[in-house]
Structure 1
Amino acid sequence: MRESNPWFEHQRKSWGWRASLSSWTWNIEKTTPMTVEIFSGCEKVELLLNGKSLGKKNTNDSTKLRAYWTVPYEKGEITIEARAIDITTNPSNIAN
């Protein structure tokens, strides 16, 4: 059980939290369609399955910092690479 946290409660009510599982190990048939949801504060995320890129997507306020993929299930490892804004070349994007 988690202690009440006013910030968390505000975020939960205004953004909503989906029921999610952090596993990629399933007892299902290969190629079964699976939805992958990524939540990131970085501007772009890339989803990889067994080292192979499944594409890159933007995450920002309009996407509620989320990106979604529907991918055919395959045993192995699913990973994410996140890319942040380079403030040395684009300082106008720094949030105050």
Structure 2
Amino acid sequence: MLRLLADPLRAQIVSLLADGPACTCHLVEDTGAKQPNISNHLRLLREAGMVVAEPRGRFTYYRLVPEALDAAAGYLTDLARQARARSDARREC
């Protein structure tokens, strides 16, 4: 999940989808990226379960899955909690 969001364009797509569902043409317009590039990023996000595709007439809208972001945030929160609890525990060389 973190690796997916490390890409600036994918992070921008996720941010745009946080404002609500959008179709590829909206994302192309909002990002300035080429349609095949947007489609490739959406495919990766779909495969990771971060977005879902919803056909509407002749267009496909993409919607962010909030639970996927909650899971990633929970993972990071757990890591931060662990780091705080173990900040003084050094391993001997």
Q: Establish whether TM, by shorter chain, passes 0.5.
A: no
Give the TM-score taking structure 1 as reference length. 0.22
Give the TM-score taking structure 2 as reference length. 0.22
More strand, by proportion: 1
Q: Say which one has the larger Rg.
A: 2
More helix, by proportion: 2
